[in-house]
Amino acid sequence: MEKRRDIINVAVIAHVDAGKSTLVDAMLSQSGVFRENQEVVECVMDSNDLERERGITIYSKNCAIEYEGVKINIVDTPGHADFSSEVERIIKTVDTAILLVDSSEGPMPQTRFVLQKALETGMRPILLINKIDKKDQRAEEVVDMTFDLFADLGAEDHQLDFPILYGEARNGVVKYEMHHENEDIKPLFDLILKHVPTYPRRDDEPLQMQVSALAYDEYIGRLGIGRVTRGILRQGQVVAVADQEDGVRKAKVTKVFVNEGLARKDVKEAFSGDMVIIAGIPDISIGDTICDENVVEPMEKIRIEEPTLSMNFLVNNSPFAGKSGKYVTTRHIRARLEKELETNVGLKVEEMEGTEGYKVSGRGELHLSVLLENMRREGYELSVSKPEVLLHRDENGKLLEPFEKVLITVPDEYSGTVISKLNIRKGNMEGMLAENGYTKLEYLVPTRGLLGYRSEFINDTRGEGVLVRSVEGYHPHVGEIPKRNNGVLISQEAGSTMAYSLFNLSERGTMFVGPATEVYEGMIIGMNSRRDDMVVNPCKNKKLTNTRSSGADDAIKLLEPKEFTLEEALEFIESDEWVEVTPDNIRLRKKILNNGERAKANKASK
């Protein structure tokens, strides 16, 4: 028999890069979860390769520690706007939230979103001002800004009386006051116990638990994750599953797991208040309520955010198809997307008529590019179209499109360029503040206007600007938005590129390929300095002559070609172009590869 313990569930919420995962690392290491000889990696909760490389949390994850006899379940949530539906659901399963705010940045757009969700549930968050060791920290001012944010969001009086801590998560230090001397994170643990009542004991009531997240295990299939609101959940128990459509069916829970440290522990029973992972219900879904088979009381439905962007995932039909990928057919792509749908509830997949491909819709460019990046690493090969914004109509038939709140910080000398670019992209300025040589801009911009803007923004601000976006909602359609200003350089034949040709072509634009690169007809090899597309031959070599002066070829010095990340490539392409995604290459190409056929199609469309 398992022993009932006092339980508190805590979510760590914040904007991207405020230090959530680092704080959870410190909580785990100082609670004695790791063995003395155990090697511990940084951001141990970011278990996915992509999460580690990008330094962001993509999927919310659970772990548990024990402090003074109380089990504290901790959920590390994503801060990125594209994964906001994860945050919303997790907030409903916890007793309090630790709101992390950077001591110099202050509250950001995403801080507003996650805090709003926490306040709506009636909880009293704990404010932790992080990174107080920064040179430009302004902790006292940030506390006032956060208080104003609480008030703006309509916080109740008891929520406005929030406890405040100061910390350096990186060094594993949390203090009650800025000037206090302290070496550990103990004040945070003590405050959680003092500030948050343990979950009430409701073990003798009928079972009720709502599924707030999903996971997948190769051996036992789909897993449901959630908090046991009341009752006891036992291994082998027959339960009633009330789904979002109000249907009720019987099912058997074959396995029950709880978190102990970072590990999942297989248990015979779990008590009210605990976060559990259950197996045995293959069609379990977000929002389903697991009830006592004789007392069916479904909990409030969970609304999952609608997708805002779509892309077409197509079979790769380029001349280089199948050279590096292991999974290349429609069947492979369909199977992989179906597997993704098991756990990625913000995603929508539809078959495309008359073509070998799928329309895949998600919450934003990052949401979809993370899926693509995972697929290419697993050996998939496919072509992807330009992202398109999903439009809606209101009850009066008026066309609506998604808008995003954009917060920008740039050195003063670049602010004029940024303002002019965002105005062209139909952005609406909502605030501007200049201080200490930097300008802070607040904009409301249609998502369509932001497609392709990030790389332009980096160039315009010489990499010194910071741009933060979060989905704001649907507003009336703003009409035509200017497209990319430059045309592209397109290879007219297949072959290997020559330094001599690339050198001559580089006067006409920016090259995307270096010498000795295999290319094919219709592949995009550079950006033209003018508006028109230009078909060129990058494979032509210098004619040999009888007399050749020594040193004549030494003058060929090529600039480094521009290499695209997956996101940059998706942002760059136009509607008649595709990104060819393979395990070892990201290439840009025209949809119609043959020059003559492309010219005919362009003529017909005009």
For 492, the token pair is: 């007219």
* Residue-wise pLDDT tens digits, 559-574: 888 888 888 888 888 8
* Residue-wise pLDDT tens digits, 294-324: 888 888 877 777 788 899 999 999 999 888 8
For 601, the token pair is: 């199609």
Long-range contacts of residues 27-31, Cβ cutoff 8 Å, at least 24 apart: 27/65, 27/74, 27/185, 27/188, 27/189, 28/63, 28/65, 28/261, 28/262, 29/172, 30/172, 30/184, 30/185, 30/186, 31/65, 31/66, 31/67, 31/189
* Residues forming beta bridges with residue 387, ordered by sequence position: none
**C-alpha 162 chain-centroid distance:** 29
**CA-CA distance, 316 to 384, in Å (whole number)?**
9
Residue with the larger pLDDT of the pair 542 and 76: 542
Which residues are documented as binding site for GTP?
17-22, 130-133
Q: Taking each helix axis from N to C terminus, what angle separates 412-424 and 453-460, rounded to the nearest 10 degrees?
A: 150
Least confident of 160-169, 381-390, 452-461, 486-495: 452-461
When pLDDT is averaged across residues 598-603 and rounded to a whole number, the result is 84
Residue with the larger pLDDT of the pair 61 and 577: 577
Place of tokens 């090259």: 511
Q: Which is it for the CA torsion 311, 317, 320, 323, positive or negative?
A: positive
Give the DSSP letter of residue 295.
B
* Superfamily, domain 6-195: P-loop containing nucleotide triphosphate hydrolases (3.40.50.300)
Reported in sequence order, the residue ranges of 466-585 that DSSP labels E, i.e. its strands, are 466-476, 488-491, 495-496, 509-511, 518-519, 523-528, 534-536, 577-581
* Residue-wise pLDDT tens digits, 18-30: 676 788 778 887 7
Please name the amino acid found at residue 441: L
Residue ranges covered by each domain of the chain: 6-195, 208-292, 314-382, 392-476, 488-605
User: Within 13 A of 497's CA, how many CA atoms are on the CB side?
Assistant: 28
Q: Smallest Cα–Cα separation from 10: which of 52, 57, 50, 70?
A: 70
**CA-CA distance, 261 to 255, in Å (whole number)?**
19
Please name the amino acid found at residue 409: T
When pLDDT is cut at 50, 70 and 90, the band that residue 37 belongs to is very low
Q: Taking each helix axis from N to C terminus, what angle separates 139-152 and 109-120, rounded to the nearest 10 degrees?
A: 50
**CA-CA distance, 525 to 539, in Å (whole number)?**
11
When pLDDT is averaged across residues 440-461 and rounded to a whole number, the result is 85
Helix, strand or coil, per DSSP, at residue 114? helix
Give the DSSP letter of residue 107.
S
* Residues forming beta bridges with residue 147, ordered by sequence position: none
When pLDDT is averaged across residues 262-274 and rounded to a whole number, the result is 85
* Residues forming beta bridges with residue 384, ordered by sequence position: 313, 579
- Most confidently modeled of 20-34, 129-143, 507-521? 507-521
Judge whether 314-382 and 392-476 match in fold: yes
Contacts (Cβ under 8 Å, ≥6 apart) of 187: 165, 174, 175, 176
Note the residue count of the chain.
Answer: 606
When pLDDT is cut at 50, 70 and 90, the band that residue 57 belongs to is very low
**Residue 44: CB atoms within 10 Å:** 18
**CA-CA distance, 249 to 490, in Å (whole number)?**
58
**CA-CA distance, 338 to 342, in Å (whole number)?**
7
Helical (H) or strand (E) element with 309: strand 309-315
**CA-CA distance, 80 to 76, in Å (whole number)?**
12
* Residue-wise pLDDT tens digits, 147-204: 888 888 888 888 888 898 888 878 888 888 877 787 788 888 888 888 888 888 888 8
**CA-CA distance, 434 to 457, in Å (whole number)?**
19
The pLDDT score that the predictor gives to residue 246 is 66
Residue 289, pLDDT > 50, answer yes
Q: Smallest Cα–Cα separation from 483: which of 445, 453, 454, 462?
A: 453
For 51, the token pair is: 């999460």
Helical (H) or strand (E) element with 189: helix 186-195
For 462, the token pair is: 């010489």
Contacts (Cβ under 8 Å, ≥6 apart) of 603: none
For 142, the token pair is: 């940030």
Q: Which is it for the CA torsion 42, 46, 48, 49, positive or negative?
A: negative
Helix, strand or coil, per DSSP, at residue 195? helix
* Residues forming beta bridges with residue 432, ordered by sequence position: 441
Residue 88, pLDDT > 80, answer no
* Superfamily, domain 314-382: Elongation Factor G (Translational Gtpase), domain 3 (3.30.70.870)
How far separated are the first and last CA of the chain, in Å rounded?
75
The pLDDT score that the predictor gives to residue 463 is 80
Fold category of 208-292 in CATH: Elongation Factor Tu (Ef-tu); domain 3 (2.40.30)
When pLDDT is cut at 50, 70 and 90, the band that residue 48 belongs to is very low
When pLDDT is cut at 50, 70 and 90, the band that residue 545 belongs to is low
CATH of domain 392-476: 3.30.70.240
Residue 76, pLDDT > 60, answer yes
**CA-CA distance, 115 to 490, in Å (whole number)?**
48
Residue 455, pLDDT > 80, answer no
Least confident of 68-82, 494-508, 538-552: 538-552
What b/e sequence results for 557-577 when a residue is b if at least 16 CB atoms lie within 10 Å of its CB, and e otherwise? eeeebeebebbbbbbbbeeeb
**C-alpha 523 chain-centroid distance:** 30
Give the DSSP letter of residue 342.
H
* Residues forming beta bridges with residue 289, ordered by sequence position: 210, 242
CA Rg value for the chain:
27
What is the average pLDDT score of the chain? 82
**CA-CA distance, 22 to 44, in Å (whole number)?**
8
Cβ(327)–Cβ(378) under 8 Å? yes
When pLDDT is cut at 50, 70 and 90, the band that residue 32 belongs to is low
When pLDDT is averaged across residues 449-457 and rounded to a whole number, the result is 81
Which residues are documented as binding site?
17-22, 130-133
**CA-CA distance, 486 to 529, in Å (whole number)?**
6
* Residue-wise pLDDT tens digits, 318-350: 999 888 888 889 999 999 998 888 777 778 899
Fold category of 488-605 in CATH: OB fold (Dihydrolipoamide Acetyltransferase, E2P) (2.40.50)
Residue 43, pLDDT > 80, answer no
Residue with the larger pLDDT of the pair 147 and 262: 147
The pLDDT score that the predictor gives to residue 41 is 38
